[in-house]
Amino acid sequence: MWGTPVEILSIEETSAIAPAEPAGGMVGLANPAAVYCLEQGYAYEIRKKPDGSEYGVCILENGTEVDAWELYYRNH
């Protein structure tokens, strides 16, 4: 007469379960500096510093490389 037994998890137990990654990779907000760089028609690259941190670079038509956030803030 009883249905299928189920296990009830507490909040502590469920918070330890990592959410599944969406199909197709990461999901998030676009970097405004990168978007601006590309909208201006420039190339955008992510570079890595020796310490492992990353930063974005806009490559202008004449080959000049500018930090993406510097370019963004210069014009906003």
Specify the pLDDT at position 29.
87
Question: Which DSSP category does 31 fall into?
Answer: P
Number of neighbours of residue 31 by Cβ within 10 angstroms: 15
| Each residue's pLDDT tens digit, 14-45 | 445 555 566 666 678 899 999 999 999 999 99
- 72, 32 Cβ separation under 8 angstroms: yes
Across the chain, mean pLDDT equals 83
Q: How far apart are CA 34 and CA 10, in angstroms?
A: 42
- 19, 41 Cβ separation under 8 angstroms: no
Specify the pLDDT at position 64.
97
Q: How far apart are CA 76 and CA 34, in angstroms?
A: 14
